[in-house]
Structure 1
Amino acid sequence: MTENPTPSPDTLFIKAMPVIFVFFWSTGFIGAKMGLPYIEPMTFLAVRFGICVLLMIPVVLLTRTHWPARGIDYVHISIGGLLMHGGYLGFVFLSISLGTPAGISSLITGIQPLIVAALAGLLLNENVTLQKWIGLLLGLAGVFLVVFDKLSVGEGTLFGMGLSFVALLSIAAATLYQKKFCANMNIKSGNLIQFAAAAVYFLLMSLLFETGDITWSGELVFALAWLTIVLSLGAMTLLYLLLRRGAAANVSSLFYLTPPCTAVVAYFLFDETLGILALIGMGIAVLGVALVNYRFKKTGNI
Structure 2
Amino acid sequence: MSLDRLAPAIFVLLWSTGWVVAKFGAIVSEPLTFLVIRYVAAAVLFAGLCLSARAPWPRDMRTIVHAVVSGAFLHGAYLGAVWWAIGEGVPAALSSIIAALQPLMTALAAPFFIGERLSGAQKAGICLGFLGVMIAVLPKLFGGGPEAVPVFAVLVNVLGMAAVTYGTIYQKQHLHTGDIRAIATLQYGGALIVTLPFALALETFHVDWGIGFLALLAWSVLGISMGAILLLLYLIRRGQVSRAASLIYLVPPIAALQAAAIFGEALTLPMILGTVIVVIGVYLTNRKGQPAPPAE
The answer to whether TM tops 0.5 is: yes
Counterpart residue number, 1:29: 19
Q: Rg larger in 1 or in 2?
A: 1
Kept after mapping to 1: 8 A contact 2:81/2:159: yes
Alignment size in residue pairs: 289
Deviation at 1:268, TM superposition (A): 1.1
Deviation at 1:286, TM superposition (A): 2.4
2-structure distance, mates of 1:156, 1:253 = 26
2:156 pairs with one of 145, 152, 163:
163
Distance 1:17 1:83, change over 3 A: same
1:1-302 map, 5 Å? 11-151=1-141, 152=144, 157-294=150-287, 297-299=288-290
Q: Which runs of 4+ in 1 moved over 6 A?
A: none
Distance 1:67 1:288, change over 3 A: same
2-structure distance, mates of 1:85, 1:202 = 9
Deviation at 1:261, TM superposition (A): 0.9
Kept after mapping to 1: 8 A contact 2:23/2:86: yes
- Percent same amino acid at aligned positions? 33
> What secondary structure does 1:206 align onto?
helix
Deviation at 1:135, TM superposition (A): 2.4
> What secondary structure does 1:298 align onto?
coil
> What secondary structure does 1:192 align onto?
helix
- Gaps (5+ residues) in structure 2? none
Deviation at 1:292, TM superposition (A): 2.2
Kept after mapping to 2: 8 A contact 1:74/1:193: yes
Deviation at 1:118, TM superposition (A): 2.7
> What secondary structure does 2:262 align onto?
helix
2-structure distance, mates of 1:287, 1:197 = 35
Aligned AA (2:100): G
2-structure distance, mates of 1:251, 1:57 = 26
1:27-49: per-residue Cα shift (whole Å, max 9, x none)? 01111111211211111111011
Deviation at 1:300, TM superposition (A): 7.0
RMSD over aligned Cα, in angstroms?
A: 1.8
1-structure distance, mates of 2:149, 2:249 = 26
Aligned AA (2:133): V
Aligned AA (1:149): P
Kept after mapping to 2: 8 A contact 1:183/1:243: no
Deviation at 1:131, TM superposition (A): 3.0
Deviation at 1:201, TM superposition (A): 3.1
Kept after mapping to 2: 8 A contact 1:100/1:160: yes
Kept after mapping to 2: 8 A contact 1:46/1:200: no
- Gaps (5+ residues) in structure 1? 1-10
User: Which deviates more from structure 2 when the two are superposed, residues 33-42 or residues 155-164?
Assistant: 155-164
Task: Return the TM-score normalized by structure 2.
Answer: 0.92
Deviation at 1:272, TM superposition (A): 1.2
2-structure distance, mates of 1:102, 1:269 = 11
Deviation at 1:24, TM superposition (A): 0.4
Task: Return the TM-score normalized by structure 1.
Answer: 0.90
Deviation at 1:215, TM superposition (A): 1.4
Deviation at 1:138, TM superposition (A): 2.0
1:122-177: per-residue Cα shift (whole Å, max 9, x none)? 32222323333332222212111111121235676332222110111011111111
